[in-house]
Amino acid sequence: MAIPENQWRIIWKAVEYWMNANNLSPQVFSQVMAGTQPSYLPDRIARGIKYGDEEITSDFLHRCIRIFGLTSARHRGLNDNLSDEECIGLLTAPLIKKIDQGKFQF
């Protein structure tokens, strides 16, 4: 299943955030993502991060969640039982938090 194109840019920015947080280069991240269909080679990952226009699949999202360790302790094994929307929420949470910082709630 493909993720809507209007969400690709924020997801790629989140992938960049988590790659930096985990000290992963596009080459290493590509190796870790091996087996994802369609394949995500280093140049595709770099273009996705730079332009935000590379397709993101459900498989890619779920693998990112596992690779970056974003599933909770109650989820064990490879089947994380998360929806695509939940994966997007976990992946983009640090970016959303940064945007909301400095806003006061009344």
Domains in the chain, start-ordered, CATH in brackets?
5-94 (1.10.260)
pLDDT at 4 over 70: yes
Rounded CA separation 35/71 (Å): 20
* Mean predicted confidence (pLDDT) in 33-62: 93
pLDDT averaged over the chain?
A: 86
Question: Does residue 57 contact residue 84 with C-beta atoms inside 8 Å?
Answer: no
pLDDT at 38 over 90: no
* Mean predicted confidence (pLDDT) in 69-98: 78
Read off the pTM. Answer: 0.83
Cβ-proximal residues to 44 (8 Å cutoff; 6+ apart), any chain: 30, 54
Between 101 and 8, the more confident residue is 8
Rounded CA separation 37/84 (Å): 16
Question: Does residue 81 contact residue 65 with C-beta atoms inside 8 Å?
Answer: no
The single-letter DSSP state of residue 54 is S
Rounded CA separation 44/106 (Å): 43
Q: Residue 6 phi/psi, 5° resolution?
A: -70, -5
Where residue 72 falls among pLDDT bands split at 50, 70, 90?
Answer: low
Query: Quick one: CA dihedral 9, 13, 18, 23, positive or negative?
Result: positive
